[in-house]
């Protein structure tokens, strides 16, 4: 969702701004690595240009500067996209109340499995 928010704006951007104002933001070392690598991968694949890369990196840096770092200790194998489990692990370690995502693999998980809700950016705004 961060890439959509910072490159394209719209509902994801509004959700990130609301989260900045109203919520604690948590990241894990694995997520920090993802945030470091994804912008460079997007530029290498031609999905964003160099100007968008610079804007994305600075936006992610601002996002991360507000975040609290947690160290997940519990590995999860719940999401059908195994790479998305890192988000669930981070939320669990943080004791988060909400995970905001546009990822269908995460949104299709039964919310009853966790002590936090999985919401779309639109649901979070509303």
List of the chain residues with pLDDT < 70: 112
Tell me the C-alpha distance between 121 and 76, whole Å. 23
Q: Which helix (H) or strand (E) holds 61?
A: helix 50-66
pLDDT at 112: 66
pLDDT at 32: 96
pLDDT at 57: 95
Whole-angstrom CA distances from 117 to 57, 120, 121 are 28, 10, 12
User: Please, what are the domains in the chain?
Assistant: 2-125 (3.40.50.1010)
Tell me the C-alpha distance between 120 and 100, whole Å. 6
Torsion 35-38-42-43 (CA) sign = positive
Tokens of 1: 């969702």
Tell me the C-alpha distance between 126 and 115, whole Å. 20
pLDDT at 79: 92
> What proportions of the chain, in percent to the nearest 5, are helix, strand and coil?
60, 10, 30
């Amino acid at each position: 969702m961060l890439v959509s928010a910072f490159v394209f704006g719209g509902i994801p951007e509004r959700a990130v701004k609301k989260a900045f104002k109203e919520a604690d933001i948590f990241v894990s070392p694995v997520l920090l690595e993802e945030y470091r690598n994804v912008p460079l991968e997007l530029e290498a694949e031609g999905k964003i240009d160099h100007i968008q890369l610079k804007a994305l990196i600075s936006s992610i840096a601002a996002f991360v500067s507000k975040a609290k770092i947690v160290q997940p200790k519990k590995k999860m194998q719940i999401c059908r996209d195994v790479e998305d489990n890192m988000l669930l692990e981070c939320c669990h370690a943080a004791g988060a109340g909400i995970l905001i995502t546009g990822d269908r693999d995460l949104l299709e998980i039964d919310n009853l499995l966790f002590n936090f809700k999985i919401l779309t950016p639109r649901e979070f705004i509303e």
